[in-house]
Amino acid sequence: MTYETPPDAEARRAIAPVICYPNDTLPAPDLALFARARAEAVKCGEVLVPPRDAASIEVPQGGFLRISSVDGPQVGDLNLFHRDDLSERFYSGKTRALHGTHITTGERMWSSFPTLRPMATVVEDTLGWYGIDGFGGSVHDVIGTRCDPYTGNLLAGTQYHHCCHSNLTRALADARGLTLVEAERHVHDVLNVFMCTGFTRDTGQYFMKASPVRPGDYLEFFAELPLLAVLSACPGGDCSAEHSSDAAACYPLKMEVWQTPYAALEGWSPPAANGYDRSHGR
C-alpha cells in the first residue's frame, strides 16, 4: 500500500524538535564534593573480569567504582543493583530519556520504578574527548540491550553460551547464591561501557564500530547507593565486527572499588526514593 504525500509534507517535516525531558530541573551532582571525597577514599577491592565472562563486586554507598581497560580494547556490559535489594536496578531506558543516548561525566545511572533515583554518577571518563563522531557514534551507550543467546538463536539458530546476558546471569547467580533461572530474571539492559555506537542517519539502524578505548582508559562512578556491580567482558571484544561468537579478540576488564571515610562526605545526602505517592489515581 502506498500513501499519498500531503501537500504540506515539507512544512510538517520542518517543525523543530522539542526535548522530551528537559533535564535542567534534575538535581545537579556536586562534582567538586565528589572530587574532594575521592582524594580521601581508600581502595578496598578489585576484581579482574575474564574475557567472554563476567564478575561482580560490591561498592559501599559513598564509595567509587572504576572500570578500566587493561590489556587491549574491550567493551563491557554493566548491570547495577542495590546491594540489599535486587529489585532496585539500573533503568537503561529512563536514563536514555533523561540524559540522551550516551552518558559521560556528571550524568547518572538511574534506578527502576518505584524508586527512580540516581544509583551512580559518572565522575571521570577518559574517553570524554570523543564526543559525537561524523557517523553519529559516541561511547558508553544506553541504547543497546546486551548481547544475548535468544536473539542469536532467532537470527541464526545458534546456541552460544558466552553472550553478556549469560555471563551476567552466571556471575549474579554466583554472587547471590541463586539458580540460573532465578538470576536470569534480574539481568537487565546494560550500560555499554567503552562501546562506540549510534543509529545510522539513513535507515535508523543501531550500529557499532571499533571502540576508541585503549589500555589505561577508565570510567569512574560515585556510588549514590550501596551497589552490586556485575560486569561482562563482551564476546564482541572492541565490537569492531561481530559479537555472539568466539571470533573477536577479547581482553579482560578491571573493576576497582574505593571506600570513602564518613567525614569526607560532609555535605552529601544519599538520594531518597522517588516522591510520587503511588496512589495511581485511586
* Binding residues vs Zn ion (CB under 5 A): 77, 147, 164, 234
Report, in Å, the least distance between residue 248 CB and Zn ion: 10
At 151, which helix (H) or strand (E)?
Answer: helix 149-156
C-beta of 251 vs 258, nearer to Zn ion? 251
Question: Which of 187, 262, 260, 249 is closest to 222 using CA atoms?
Answer: 260
C-beta of 77 vs 238, nearer to Zn ion? 77
C-beta of 57 vs 234, nearer to Zn ion? 234
Report, in Å, the least distance between residue 206 CB and Zn ion: 13
Residues in the chain, overall count: 282
C-beta of 223 vs 239, nearer to Zn ion? 239
C-beta of 141 vs 224, nearer to Zn ion? 141
Report, in Å, the least distance between residue 167 CB and Zn ion: 8
Helix 149-156 with 164-176: angle, nearest 10 deg: 150
Report, in Å, the least distance between residue 146 CB and Zn ion: 6
Q: Is 35 helix (H, G, I), strand (E, B) or coil?
A: helix
Report, in Å, the least distance between residue 75 CB and Zn ion: 7
C-alpha grid cell for residue 50? Answer: 575474564
253 φ/ψ angles, rounded to the nearest 5 degrees: -125, 150
Report, in Å, the least distance between residue 76 CB and Zn ion: 8
Round to whole Å and give the CA distance between 67 and 261. Answer: 21
C-alpha grid cell for residue 256? Answer: 576497582
Report, in Å, the least distance between residue 243 CB and Zn ion: 5
C-beta of 103 vs 250, nearer to Zn ion? 250
Residue with grid cell 567504582, as numbered in its chain: 65
At 278, which helix (H) or strand (E)?
Answer: none
Which residues, including other chains, have CB under 8 Å from residue 103's CB and lie 6 or more apart? Answer: 95, 109, 122, 140, 142, 191
C-beta of 75 vs 225, nearer to Zn ion? 75
Distance separating the N- and C-terminal Cα atoms of the chain: 44
* Residue 103 amino acid letter: I
Percent helix, strand and coil across the chain, each rounded to 5?
Answer: 20, 30, 50
